[in-house]
């Protein structure tokens, strides 16, 4: 196996950090902190030293640190591996389940394999083949439409494969789907939050059900302590969002949430299928913008909600207890939305109800309320947010259409050549704890009131410019079109698939198997 050079002198910043993605084997300089982490790892798991020269740290999240290690093979060649050191407090069943996902489903169909696992006391290191990759945030501005199409196709292949084993990944996002642009290789990684479907073939995922309060929280946020979001500078903060515990029966709820009740209300969700809470303890906060003490004292709804807020499906955000493989399909849809619009992260939410409000700005509030009702949740939104035309939205955000108020920039700064973006390499991409450029910019009138995707013009006014794309072009125009990376002729199929992935209703959302058969991929 061959590897290209690890990094060139230009890749080293003044403070000695690697500032470019790894590119192979040449000697690299690492920061003092990383050196110390590597020393610590050698001490924690001494067996590693016999096999690996640990070169660098390539990833760090709340639950693991990932290192690049070089091993001398028996035939004299050297090979690179990713060494994932799990935090010592990870629950043993969690660790074993992650490993079992990799051993049973990994090593094919764009799912990373596992080579070996080391353990000393409570330190566990999972050894995987190293896959050199580029971070999406670094390349999103230069990806062609064809690259996007292939990326999504390969992601769907990986999802089909793991879903066939009854594995729900639960944390589908670009940082967990590695992409080597030059070699066109892909790898789904990180089964650290995976759960099983009711008929999963992964035995250990079955054992996780009673383990919700484990040290690797199944519905915990990542690294929340390292970044305090500033809600005042986002419009999302202005749509008040609350979770309201159930109080009424289905019928009452459906009456109350009919379109006539739209008013100055916050976004709220509640389980409409639950029985009324203790008789005589009815509260006064129903359909108001307050949460009363009775409601505050209700037991929290328990449902899995692992993952990253911006990638979470509506049924996860509303804590629907029955979640299936469809949640991964939603996340794939968010990735596709991000790639088609050239915005990453697309939804940047610090909590679930802000994330839900953002979804409503794209998919419509009535539609969201209706879908939520279908899975037993009642959602109230303070105002009606129209569903957006996906092509118009993506083309506007890409700067291919005039925005209504000239406030939309073609790309967020985070995707440009900022050092923040380059240093991002070894961080987790959880939008809640990495301050990146806001995805949305406020609309003049809506400022401070609602998520900014509202800024996109109404689809009906925009039809003419998309039909222009269909008209024949003279040869002289062809070169310019090639330079546009195909973004001037994104087929309707792309937006049709996006619409089906971002189906608010998990029971009708497209499956991975169906998505692979979508006309967008007919030649693949």
Binding site for ligand ADP (CB under 6 A): 58-59, 61, 63-64, 66, 82, 84, 112, 128, 130-131, 133, 175-176, 178, 189-190, 192, 428
What does 447-472 look like in DSSP terms, one character per residue? Answer: TTTS-GGGGSPPGGGGHHHHHHHHS-
Nearer to ligand ADP, 194 or 285 (CB): 194
> In terms of CB distance, is 267 or 283 closer to Zn ion?
283
The partner in contact with residue 437, picked from ligand ADP, Mg ion, Zn ion, none with C-beta cut-offs of 5 to 8 angstroms by kind, is none
The total of other beta-carbon atoms located within 10 Å of residue 292's CB is 13
* Catalytic residue (one of 171, 190, 351, 428): 171
**Shortest Å distance, C-beta 114 to ligand ADP:** 9
- 130 is in the binding site of which of ligand ADP, Mg ion, Zn ion, none (Cβ under 5 to 8 A by kind)? ligand ADP
Residue 351 contacts Mg ion per CB under 5 A: no
310 contact, one of ligand ADP, Mg ion, Zn ion, none, CB 5-8 Å limit per kind: none
- Give bridge partners of residue 120 from the DSSP assignment: 123
351 is known as an active-site residue: no
Nearer residue to ligand ADP within complex by CB, 173 or 443? 173
Smallest separation (angstroms) from ligand ADP to the CB of 195: 15
| Separation of alpha carbons 84 and 72, rounded Å | 19
In angstroms, how far is the first alpha carbon of the chain from the final one?
27
Compare residues 286 and 344 and give the one whose CB is closer to Zn ion: 286
Contact partner at residue 150 from Zn ion, Mg ion, ligand ADP, none, CB < 5 to 8 Å by partner kind: none
Closest CA to 100 of 162, 155, 157: 162
Establish how many alpha carbons lie within 13 A of residue 2's alpha carbon, considering only the half-sphere containing its beta carbon. Answer: 2
Which residue has the closest beta carbon to Zn ion?
A: 283
Site for Mg ion in 162-181 (CB under 5 A): 176
Q: Is 271 helix (H, G, I), strand (E, B) or coil?
A: strand
> Which residues of the shown chain bind Zn ion in the complex (CB under 5 A)?
283, 285, 292, 295
- Identify what 283 binds: Zn ion, Mg ion, ligand ADP, none; CB under 5 to 8 Å per kind: Zn ion
Residue 64 interacts with, from ligand ADP, Zn ion, Mg ion, none (CB under 5-8 Å by kind)? ligand ADP
* C-alpha span between 422 and 175 (Å, rounded): 14
Residue 450: C-alpha distances to residues 43, 108, 199, 413 (Å)? 51, 43, 41, 22
CB of 363 to ligand ADP, least distance (A): 28
Tokens linked to 39: 């020393």
87: phi then psi, degrees, rounded to nearest 5: -60, 140
Q: What pairs with residue 127 in β-bridges?
A: 83, 116
Using alpha carbons only, give the angle 310, 315, 316 rounded to the nearest 5 degrees: 50
Say if residues 181 and 137 touch (Cβ distance below 8 Å): no
Measured CA to CA, the distance from residue 29 to residue 312 in angstroms comes to: 37
According to CB under 5 A, which one of 11, 190, 367, 429 is a site residue for Mg ion?
A: 190
CB of 236 or CB of 430, closer to ligand ADP: 430
Alpha-carbon distances of 369 from 239, 295, 312, rounded to whole Å: 15, 21, 16
Q: How far is the CB of 498 from ligand ADP (least distance, A)?
A: 24
Chain residue at closest Cβ approach to ligand ADP = 59
Active site residues: 171
Residues that bind Mg ion (CB under 5 A): 176, 190
């Amino acid at each position: 196996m061959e590897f290209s050079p690890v990094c060139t002198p230009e890749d080293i910043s003044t403070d000695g950090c690697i500032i470019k993605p790894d590119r192979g084997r040449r000697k690299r300089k690492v920061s003092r902190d990383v050196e110390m982490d590597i020393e610590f790892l050698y001490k924690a798991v001494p067996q590693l030293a016999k096999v690996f020269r640990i070169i660098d740290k390539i990833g760090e999240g709340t639950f693991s640190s990932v290192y690049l290690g070089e091993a001398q093979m028996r035939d004299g060649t050297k090979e690179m591996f990713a060494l994932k050191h799990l935090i010592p407090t990870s629950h043993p069943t969690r660790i074993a389940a992650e490993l079992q996902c990799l051993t049973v489903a990994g090593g094919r169909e764009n799912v990373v394999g596992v080579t070996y696992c080391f353990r000393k006391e409570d330190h566990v290191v999972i050894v995987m083949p190293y896959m050199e990759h580029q971070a999406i945030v670094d390349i999103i501005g230069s990806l062609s439409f064809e690259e996007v199409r292939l990326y999504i196709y390969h992601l769907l292949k990986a999802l089909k494969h793991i879903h066939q084993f009854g594995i729900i990944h639960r944390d589908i996002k670009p940082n967990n789907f590695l992409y080597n642009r030059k070699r066109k290789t892909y790898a789904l990684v990180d089964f650290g939050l995976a759960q099983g479907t009711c008929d999963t073939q992964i035995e250990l995922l079955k054992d996780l059900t009673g383990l919700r309060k484990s040290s690797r929280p199944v519905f915990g946020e990542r690294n929340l302590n390292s970044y305090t979001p500033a809600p005042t500078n986002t419009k999302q903060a202005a749509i008040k969002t609350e979770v309201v515990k159930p109080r009424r029966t289905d019928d009452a709820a459906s009456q109350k949430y009919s379109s006539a009740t739209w008013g100055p209300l916050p976004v709220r969700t509640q389980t409409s299928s639950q029985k009324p809470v203790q008789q005589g303890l009815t509260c006064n906060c129903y359909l108001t913008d307050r949460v009363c003490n009775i409601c505050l004292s209700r037991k929290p709804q328990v449902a899995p909600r692992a993952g990253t807020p911006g990638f979470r499906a509506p049924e996860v955000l509303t804590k629907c207890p029955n979640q299936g493989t469809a949640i991964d399909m939603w996340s794939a849809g968010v990735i596709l939305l991000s790639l088609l619009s050239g915005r990453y992260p697309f939804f940047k939410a610090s909590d679930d109800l802000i994330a839900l409000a953002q979804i409503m700005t794209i998919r419509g509030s009535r539609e969201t309320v209706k879908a939520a009702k279908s899975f037993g949740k009642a959602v109230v939104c303070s105002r009606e947010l129209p569903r957006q035309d996906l092509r118009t939205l993506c083309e506007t955000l890409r700067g291919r259409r005039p925005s209504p108020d000239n406030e939309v920039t073609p790309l967020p700064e985070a995707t440009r050549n900022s050092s923040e973006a380059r240093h991002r390499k070894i961080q987790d991409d959880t939008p809640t704890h990495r301050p990146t450029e806001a995805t949305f910019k406020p609309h003049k009138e809506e400022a401070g009131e609602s998520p900014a995707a509202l800024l996109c013009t109404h689809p009906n006014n925009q039809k003419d410019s998309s039909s222009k794309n269909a008209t024949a072009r003279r040869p002289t125009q062809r070169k310019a079109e090639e330079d546009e990376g195909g973004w001037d002729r994104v087929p309707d199929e792309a937006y049709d698939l996006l619409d089906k992935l971002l189906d608010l209703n998990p029971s009708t959302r497209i499956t991975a198997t169906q998505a692979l058969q979508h006309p967008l991929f007919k030649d693949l």
